[in-house]
Structure 1
Amino acid sequence: MLKLSIDREPFWLDLVPGVRVRFRPITVAAILVARAAAAEVLRAGGEDAEIQAGLAFTSALARSGIAAWEGIGDADGNPVGPNPDHIDDALDLWPLFDAIDRLYVAPAILQVAEKNA
C-alpha cells in the first residue's frame, strides 16, 4: 500500500560522538538534483566514475538537506555553520560521510524502493 503520510519537519540525527545534524526531509526535487549530479559524473567517465557518482549523489542530498549542526568547527575549534563549503569539508571526513549516507540517504532511498515515499 502506498502511504501518503509524509513527515516534512526537519529532524536531528546524532552522526558521530559530539556531532548532531538537523536535516530537512529528502524531497523528490532533491533526489532529482542528486541524480543529475551523479549522471554528470558518469557522463564525464573515468576509472572511478561509479564511485564518484555515488559521492556526488550523497553530497548533493547533504547540501540540500543540512539545515543546522552542532559540534563542527574550524581548524581552531571555533563553531562554523553549515554553508556549502563547510558541508563539503565535512563530507571529506569518512565518519561523517558514512553516517550521513547510512542514516540520512539510505533510509530515504529504501523508502522510495518500498514505494512508501
Structure 2
Amino acid sequence: MLKLNLTHAPRWLDLGRGLRLQVLPPVSTLAAQVWREMAEAGAFDETPAVDPGVAEAKAWARRVVIGWEGVGDADGNPIDAPSPETIDALIDVPWVYLAFRAGFLAPLHALEQEKNASAPSPSGNSAAAPTTAAPAANPATTARGS
C-alpha cells in the first residue's frame, strides 16, 4: 500500500555522529529538478562526466536540506544555515554521503524498484494470466449493413 504524506512537513534525518539534517519530503517537482540537473551535468551519458550517485545525492540535498545540527566550519564554529556550497561540502564527506544515500535516497529507489518488479495483472489472456474465456465454438455472424 502506498502511504501518502499529505502534510509535506519537514522531518529530521539522523545520520549518526551527532549529525542531523532537517529535510523536506521528496516530491515530484523536486525529482524533476534533480533529474534535469543530473542530465545537464552529464550524469546519464554513456560515459558520465560526473559520478551519478554523488550528483544525485548533492542535487537532492541542495533541494531538501533546510536545516541541520552538528555541522561546523574548519575552526569548529557551528554553521547555522545550510547553503548550496556547504551542502555540497557536507555530501563530499564519504560517511555523510553514504548515510544520506541510505537514509534519504534508498527509500526512493526502493519505491522505484518495487513498481518495476510488480507482477502482471492476472486478467485477460496474457502469458502470465490464465485464460478467462473458452474459444468460441463457431465464428460469429457478420452484422447486416444498413
Runs of 4+ more than 3 Å apart: 43-47, 112-115
Alignment match, 1:78: 77
Alignment match, 1:98: 98
What does 1:38-53 correspond to in 2, within 5 Å? 38-42=38-42, 49=48, 52-53=51-52
Say which structure, 1 or 2, has more relative contact order (CA 8 Å, 6+ apart): 1
Q: Aligned-pair RMSD on alpha carbons?
A: 2.3
Unaligned stretches of 5+ residues in structure 1: none
Conserved 8 A contact 1:30-1:64: yes
Relative to structure 1, the CA distance from residue 110 to residue 51 in structure 2 (aligned partners, 3 Å threshold; closer, same or farther) is farther
Q: How many aligned residue pairs are there?
A: 113
Distance across 2 between alignment mates of 1:44 and 1:106: 19
Distance across 1 between alignment mates of 2:108 and 2:66: 17
Conserved 8 A contact 1:37-1:53: no
TM superposition score normalised by structure 2: 0.67
Conserved 8 A contact 1:69-1:82: yes
Q: Which amino acid in 2 is paired with 1:14?
A: D
Relative to structure 1, the CA distance from residue 67 to residue 52 in structure 2 (aligned partners, 3 Å threshold; closer, same or farther) is same
Alignment match, 1:68: 67
Larger radius of gyration: 2
SS in 2 for 1:61: helix
Q: Percent identity?
A: 32
Unaligned stretches of 5+ residues in structure 2: 116-146
Relative to structure 1, the CA distance from residue 44 to residue 110 in structure 2 (aligned partners, 3 Å threshold; closer, same or farther) is closer
SS in 2 for 1:114: helix
